[in-house]
């Protein structure tokens, strides 16, 4: 169970911080990273710029790269807040890593379940079941249930 005194927005911030400072976490997360993982608008924008940078330059950006790509003042303020966050002063890193791992896994599963709901809505809208090839991949959901940073 995730710690209750840390809210989802804080977990999103910590995950973004880990992406920039922990190569092992970054390497585990990147294959699954989408802006859909993030619910907080500013965090979603930061990740959108990270993914855009990676698509263009084929490498993970430095903090200054993202700072320059962000144009909205609130997004910039949020990114600077994350960049200046000193996690080791606030948390035991090993404990925090486990919490973030579970948070990210839960978000992966949640997003996959949303795809199933969308599939059901579309099927209902068309008045028929869609072709099986259009069904979200259930193996992906099973993989997410067993996903960890250090696989």
Chain CA centroid to CA 91, Å: 20
pLDDT of residue 137: 60
* Mean pLDDT, all residues of the chain: 85
Judge contact between 105 and 147, C-beta under 8 A: yes
- pLDDT for res 59: 97
pLDDT at 2: 47
Interval 4-48: pLDDT, tens: 446 899 999 999 999 999 999 999 999 999 999 999 999 999 999
Tokens of 139: 């193996």
> What is the tens place of the pLDDT at every residue in 66-83?
999 999 999 999 999 999
Given this model, what pLDDT does residue 90 score?
86
């Amino acid at each position: 169970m995730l710690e209750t005194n840390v809210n989802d927005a804080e977990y999103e911030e910590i995950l973004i911080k880990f992406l920039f400072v922990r190569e092992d976490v970054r390497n585990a997360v990147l294959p699954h990273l989408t802006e859909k993982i993030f619910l907080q608008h500013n965090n979603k924008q930061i990740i959108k710029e990270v993914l855009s940078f990676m698509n263009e330059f084929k490498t993970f950006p430095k903090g200054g790269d993202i700072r320059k790509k962000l144009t909205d003042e609130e997004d910039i303020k949020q990114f600077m807040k994350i960049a200046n966050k000193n996690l080791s002063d606030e948390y035991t890193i090993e404990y925090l890593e486990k919490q973030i791992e579970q948070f990210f896994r839960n978000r992966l599963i949640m997003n996959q379940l949303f795809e199933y709901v969308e599939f059901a809505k579309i099927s209902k809208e068309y008045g028929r079941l869609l072709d099986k090839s259009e069904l979200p991949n259930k193996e992906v959901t099973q993989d997410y249930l067993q996903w960890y940073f250090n696989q």
